[in-house]
Structure 1
């Protein structure tokens, strides 16, 4: 924790306000009948703060805090009756609250938010039942008095219900608020928020989400028990009534009203809880009704809470005020020279010591083998590229290295820097020296750019902040260090993901598709940075589908397919390996193309279509014509933009630019990648749902359902009442196509129908698609394997990084060579176009 003047000044505001308030109380400026309310507001402020910060920082909504509140109050009552000191009562209550909170937090970390709420609800219910039944200690329904508590440190005696308790409550609240300010700027808060925002990514930087939940709940429970002690002293009498479940709901309402996770919002929530009974009396409505109206109003009009809304309004007003000359924000500095591309690295020496060794490693999920008998050796100071088509096992390999295999069963041996790797937890692998990035830049959205990197440290010092500033400069993020990731384009979020992985200078850096979604300039900068890391002695394992950029930084390449290693060597040697080329391009086998069509009519036409997701460009300048009766293949590697193009052709996704036209009334239907079936519904119900969504009912539905069922193979026709989740992969794919067919489409779009299927099932699925084409249905087939698309389609368009890099007819040797070159490196656009092929069909 680094204390600067600004932080100290903000932390001093709480004690200053508390001292001022106590001065008013002592001077009689506050009426005697209001003194109790002031003390009660201070106590409620501590409770609302503990609940609000637990929810805001850890994402845990608890209805169990009335139980903690009660435990603290009954500690005060029991201690006053057994001559305990004030300090002993406080320590006992705080320790009990921390222990129970740690248990609830650890147990609840395994569950969703709903189940955590139910767990805390059960905790409150059990605690209140014990209070009622343990009458020897609690007095049962009759309650128990709090007489007095003497300080063992000679600080005096606090009488239950006396003025001293009111001063103590205000002073204690001031101290708690003062402690909350540096906590909000600490690594503790950052790590709690990181664990809440993205538990999987948090594990890769050494943060265990269950430990963070346990810690945050322990602190929250301890603070609430402390507030319970103050409540017992303030009231002078403790009974079960104030600790009902209704009070738990009121606490949550107060948190939302003030602003979840804000310190000043907790003060507003505490004041609201204290004076809500007076407000209810003034308007003549029951308290629950007033609370409900206030909560609904806040959720509708101030969803972030009253305090954040007022703070945002104040900032908006201040921004409109004229500024002094020269006070304007500096313009963003250009990308640093550190990111400039450098010369390719020298080859890694064979004599370098071995850093990582995997032998016969397999990963299975039930009956599915995601990785099978994988072996590799990585030397220090080496860049290893891992390639393979979608589903080949690449990401599973990276997950083995970073400990993120989930419920997968891992076998084999792995050693890292001379230590066994497979037995180490994911959170421990960061300490071993392994850093990792993610395909989609999984950053912590609720932290700033700088905090995303700082949270890798348990304790943050001035030296750590200096190191992080230097690291952010090296990746070109200095100008956005105080901004949230959501405000950044995708390329900068990728750099942030890289900076976080590099924060503790790992020995091994794992990069998961780092080039994906970046433009040419950004890929060049990233390649330069990978070379620089290599020159500094960091070993790198990187997977990607952008092969030209990937091969420009790799010393050695490992190729996978169906979970097995199929090739290894230098980039040039591996890419020429027939097995590797076949895994990407596929083999034709005995399947022939559908018969020639005679249709000329355009069904769907795209003009200059482009699409982006945030800062990620998925498609650029797409010109495409889907003609009646044509089987059009869209081939490309994973990440080329096929699924985005499928959504635009279907009409379910509006392009960012360009236009989509249809001739007359054209009904399109999409069988999406991954099938997206309703696994718990039966086969018939899956078809019914699709028909209902298209407005098909009654006799039309029965007729369409009969036709579609006849299209399915006999083994599925006989199992129409079975759940879709019980089918094999190939059977699920045929059901997904049938679901798309039941609406009676003019154009059927099928995205990756062969994904994850065995060869025999692939043949069956494609044979049935060919049958639809023979019946005259227009089909758009999105396929990863180029040769498969060439064997079953009339026309093929090759996508490469969101651009149609080639478009022509299979059977033309010139086009086939051009298509293969375009598939791998986006070669020159083919001379043949949809218009050119239209007249030859």
Structure 2
């Protein structure tokens, strides 16, 4: 169905990647000099590493400054197993990849909890630790002298010593990995990685297990790097700790940044452009750091998205057929049951003694002055922050101890006070991301929401190009695309005109009629009062009244706390 068409479309739109790979096949026609072929083979192996690093950094936004350690693990595993344990090169290769994957999994969980500069500094120590470990275990690792006489790979007894044959072998392996990475990056998995890169909180609210996904891509990236290291040592037949040290790791990042992160082919451009620099500057080796640094500075100043940033990214997803409608919502019992929820930040009690129910097809509004705890209440219900005490039941399940992504998968959708869309995804891709919790029919549901909200005209633009009302609808659409039983809306009417508020109200009534339970936070009484079945009033974190709209707006305490003697409260 539509998900299959997405994947088919991704394969069909691989023209740039296939063109780049085809260009590498003609390299030997230009020169078959063994030295030149050796350099091109090394560049292909660097492309392998940079493509894996791009999945981690360019797509998932996790900066690793010590990725050379995983190349070294693949290289040393092949070197040690073939020279000291009698393994063939082909048998040693998967062992090195597995070792790198295991190490990545072990270090990923604590390391990837860090962000930004902290993550970069943590990974910066990887090559230093590996270098120290190799030198300490010199009796079997060779220490600073490294490992020599590593055997070449064989195929059916034929030793792969011909540079031309080895070049095409590596090119074939690189082609397979590149095509897999290309399709992975342009699949639902790739959308989730981009979401994590842009906004982890929003990604979690869309049902994405952020930590699990970051670990997965870190392991995959490390495994690809180890494959490159193994192929390298069976070609040069030597490895030393300095080969894949800190300078190598930093060079990989520079290649990726210059070529363009978040584009598989961008990394290839960076490797080819900078990979030849050491050869061209061999007579001026001391100037290499200066030239590399200058190129990086120019790119960061004038092309921060890298060279690939000059080409607008095209979506691999297109709206197609629509299903009959969203999943049905059960009306048995309350969809949401909140009991005695409390939350304090330091000495400030943000929410205290909050209790209420919301049933299917009911709109519960929460109002109160600024700082009353309204947005905090939504964050507690959605799982963005943990409650200090109390219980939250979603569809009968206790969820107060579960993370936000799990609550999203149980049928909770939410929007934020300031729209949190993924700016690097098109409008339709944002919808697909929201609907991804549905499994196989995510594409069709995303398409249905586009039609329902009259957003087809903006389906292939990026959220930043839409107007404010459209961005509000897009964020609501990403939540609705998952077919939620419960929808949390944080000030959806803010900044909208009267006509736009009327259209928003019509949309929310439609969702109510379909059985969706809605918790609405807003200051616009002309939106809140006509829509609400009941209104809960918060003041200084505590509920002061909960009842029908007419009763609430007539209450003197409510007027003093929030409404005042305003003439528009009956609007």
Q: Say whether the fold is shared (TM-score over 0.5).
A: yes
Determine whether 1:120 maps to 2:123.
Answer: yes
Do structure 1's residue 196 and structure 2's residue 200 form an aligned pair?
no
1:511 matched to which residue of 2? 489
Of the three residues 52, 55, 58, the one matched with 1:56 is 58
Structure 1 pair 568–303 and aligned structure 2 pair: CA distance change class (3 A): closer
| 456 and 352 in structure 1: CA distance in 2 versus 1, 3 angstrom threshold | closer
The structural deviation recorded for 1:246 is: 1.5
**Alignment match, 2:456:** 478
Distance across 2 between alignment mates of 1:431 and 1:397: 20
- The corresponding residue for 2:317 is none
Q: CA deviation at 1:476?
A: 2.0
Change in 2 beyond 3 A, CA 1:110/1:462: closer
Q: How does 1:510-659 map to 2 (within 5 A)?
A: 510-584=488-562
Matched position secondary structure for 1:242: coil
Instruction: Return the alpha-carbon distance in structure 2 between the equivalents of residues 206 and 569 of structure 1.
Output: 32
Residue 143 of structure 1, CA deviation: 1.4
User: Is the contact made by 1:361 and 1:412 (CA closer than 8 Å) also made in structure 2?
Assistant: yes
Task: Please give the alpha-carbon distance, in whole angstroms, between the structure 2 residues aligned to 1:70 and 1:287.
Answer: 23
- Which stretch of structure 1 is more off in the superposition, 500-509 or 288-297? 288-297
User: How many residues matched?
Assistant: 552
Distance 1:352 1:243 in 2: 61
Out of 336, 342, 347, the residue aligned to residue 367 of structure 1 is: 347
Partner in structure 2 of residue 683 of structure 1: none
Are the aligned partners of 1:10 and 1:181 in contact in 2 as well (CA < 8 Å)?
Answer: no
**1:13 Cα deviation after fit:** 6.2
Which residue does 1:469 correspond to in 2? Answer: 447
Q: Are 1:84 and 2:62 counterparts?
A: no
SS of 1:167's equivalent in the other structure is helix
Deviation at residue 821 of structure 1 after TM alignment: 1.6
Contact (CA 8 Å) 1:386, 1:543: kept in 2 or not? yes
Match of 2:48 among 46, 49, 61: 46
SS in structure 1 of the partner of residue 57 of structure 2: helix
Which range is displaced more, 451-460 or 285-294? 451-460
* Structure with bigger gyration radius: 1
SS in 1 for 2:276: helix
Once the two structures are overlaid, the 10-residue window that deviates more, 247-256 or 571-580, is: 247-256
Q: Are residues 1:223 and 2:203 paired?
A: no
1:532: Cα distance to partner? 0.6
Structure 2 distance, partners of 1:292, 1:302, is 15
Structure 2 CA distance, aligned partners of 1:378 and 1:461? Answer: 27
Structure 1 residues 435 and 169: CA distance shift in structure 2, 3 A: same
For residues 16 and 378 of structure 1, do their structure 2 counterparts lie closer, same or farther at Cα, with a shift above 3 Å needed?
Answer: closer
The structure-2 alpha-carbon separation of the partners of 1:160 and 1:78, relative to structure 1 and needing over 3 Å to count, comes to farther
8 Å Cα contact 2:205-2:382 kept in structure 1: yes
Give the 3 Å change call, closer, same or farther, for CA 15–526 of structure 1 in structure 2. Answer: closer
1:182 aligns with 2:183: yes
Whole-angstrom CA distance in 1 between matches of 2:256 and 2:56: 10
CA contact (8 A) 1:104 1:214 kept: no
Distance in 2, Cα, partners of 1:254 & 1:396: 43
CA RMSD after TM alignment: 2.7
2:406 equivalent to 1:428:
yes
> What residue ranges of structure 1 are gaps of 5+ in the alignment?
316-337, 339-350, 586-785, 787-816, 827-841
Residues 1:821 and 2:567 are matched in the alignment: yes
How far has the Cα of 1:424 moved from its partner?
2.2
| Per-residue deviation, 1:134 | 1.7
CA drift of 1:155 comes to 5.6
1:378 equivalent in alignment to 2:358? yes
SS of aligned partner of 1:207: coil
| 1:498 paired residue among 454, 463, 476 | 476
In the alignment, the residues of structure 1 paired with residue 420 and residue 252 of structure 2 have an alpha-carbon distance, to the nearest angstrom, of: 33
SS at match of 2:364: strand
Deviations 1:662-688 (A, max 9, x none): xxxxxxxxxxxxxxxxxxxxxxxxxxx
Structure 2 CA distance for partners of 1:28 and 1:442, relative to 1, 3 Å? closer
Aligned mates of 2:165, 2:215 — CA distance in 1: 34
Q: Distance in 1 between matches of 2:527 and 2:467?
A: 21
**Residues 461-508 of structure 1, C-alpha deviations (whole Å, 9 max, x = no match):** 874322211111111211111111111111111111111111221111
1:49–1:4 CA distance, 2 compared to 1 (3 A): closer
Tell me if the contact between 1:43 and 1:270 (Cα under 8 Å) persists in the aligned partners: no
For 1:209, the equivalent position in structure 2 comes to: 210
Q: SS where residue 243 of structure 1 aligns? A: coil
CA-to-aligned-CA distance 1:58-99 (integer Å, 9 cap, x gap): 112211111111111111212322232444322222222222
| Structure 2 equivalent of residue 768 of structure 1 | none
Deviation at 1:100, TM superposition (A): 2.3
Offset at residue 230 of structure 1 (A): 1.3
Q: 2:62, 2:115 within 8 Å by CA — same for their partners in 1?
A: no
Q: Within 2, Cα distance between the matches of 1:148 and 1:159?
A: 10
Cα-to-partner distance string for 1:755-791 (whole Å, 9 max, x where unaligned): xxxxxxxxxxxxxxxxxxxxxxxxxxxxxxx6xxxxx
State how far apart, in whole Å, the 1-side matches of 2:526 and 2:278 are. Answer: 70
Question: What's the counterpart of residue 649 of structure 1?
Answer: none
* 1:353 match: 333
Return the TM-score normalized by structure 1: 0.62
Distance 1:228 1:10, change over 3 A: farther
1:271 aligned partner: 272
Q: Quick one: distance in 2 between partners of 1:96 and 1:290?
A: 36
SS of the aligned residue for 2:261 comes to coil
After superposition, give the CA deviation of every residue in 1:637-692 in whole Å (9 maximum; x if it has no partner). xxxxxxxxxxxxxxxxxxxxxxxxxxxxxxxxxxxxxxxxxxxxxxxxxxxxxxxx
Q: Which runs of 5+ in 2 are unaligned?
A: 315-324, 326-330
The alignment status of 1:104 with 2:107, answered yes or no, reads yes
Give, in angstroms, the shift of residue 420 of structure 1.
1.4
Aligned to 1:371, the other structure's residue is in SS state strand
The structure where strand makes up a greater share of residues is 1
